[in-house]
Amino acid sequence: MTRKIILLMVLALDANVAFAQASIDDRGENLVKDFLTDVITLEGRFEQSLIDVGGAIIERTSGTLAIERPMRFRWLYTEPYEQWLVADGVNIWSYDLDLEQVTVKAQAEALANTPALLLGSSENALEQFDFDGTTVEEVVTWVRLEPKDKNSGFDWVELGFIENQMLRMVFFDNLKQTTLIALHDVKRNEPIDAARFEFVVPDDVDLVGTPAVAEAVDH
């Protein structure tokens, strides 16, 4: 076999590998876009682990979540402590039950360029991220996204899809810590009571911050 034939074979193999990777990347990008456009409501349980740079688990938490697009979600930590995160479309409320304290921030500002934007927003959330490739590990297709704003606090985010359903999220922050979230018992596109995305500040807690006011819409 001549060197020329070997070179042609190597080039053909490289081309096939590149084509296969491009197909995988396209599939991953489509999975993310479908998740952002086709999933209007989502409910389930989550398990969350915070992992340090050496691979040791710093903290394990769990709870429930409910999402209704656009821009409303309810994320409740129940173990080992109780904390509520409620986004009503205008503000995001963080209620620490042990501290008896509520912190409120304007939602658009608080969630900009963060992984939470991918959960609660629609396809336009991708305007704040760049696709950075897709990999397949056993049954999970991982799609990596990088925030365009390098000051967002996160180096990149990976969304994990199992049988075309987004069931894993991994956040890599600029402190070199990793947050892994696994979703369970997920229900999609079933009605959710609107009251679950409303938050009323309890009388006996401290309020930190000033709620933003929804802009009036002209008809």
What are the extents of the domains in the chain? 27-208
pLDDT of res. 24: 76
Q: When comparing pLDDT for 6 and 29, which is higher?
A: 29
Look at residues 42, 64, 56, 52 and name the one whose alpha carbon lies nearest to residue 118. Answer: 42
Mean pLDDT value of segment 146-160: 85
Peptide bond into 202 cis (omega under 30): no
pTM, rounded to two decimals: 0.81
The residue ranges of DSSP E strands in 69-122, in sequence order, are 72-79, 83-87, 91-96, 101-106
CB 165 within 8 A of CB 183: no
pLDDT over threshold 80, residue 199 = yes
Q: What is the pLDDT of residues 58-94, one digit of tens each?
A: 999 999 999 998 889 999 999 888 999 999 989 999 9
Mean pLDDT value of segment 138-162: 88
Q: Which two tokens stand for residue 120?
A: 């609660």
Mean pLDDT value of segment 4-19: 43
Q: Reduced to 3 states, what is the DSSP secondary structure of residue 69? A: coil
CATH superfamily of the 27-208 domain: Lipoprotein localisation LolA/LolB/LppX (2.50.20.10)
Q: How much of the chain, in percent, has pLDDT values that exceed 70?
A: 85
**Per-residue b or e along 69-102, where b marks 16 or more CB atoms closer than 10 Å to that residue's CB:** bebbbbbbbeeeeebbbbbbbbbbbbbbeeeeeb
pLDDT over threshold 60, residue 20 = no
Alpha carbon distance 88, 201 (integer Å): 13
Q: Is 154 exposed, middle or buried (0-12, 13-18, 19+ CB in 10 A)?
A: buried
Mean pLDDT value of segment 17-30: 67
Alpha carbon distance 186, 181 (integer Å): 13
Alpha carbon distance 155, 133 (integer Å): 14
DSSP 89-102: SSEEEEEETTTTEE
Distance of CA 41 to the CA centre of its chain: 14
pLDDT of res. 122: 60
pLDDT over threshold 80, residue 55 = yes
| Sign, CA torsion 132/134/135/140 | positive
CB 89 within 8 A of CB 108: no
Q: Which two tokens stand for residue 98?
A: 């042990």
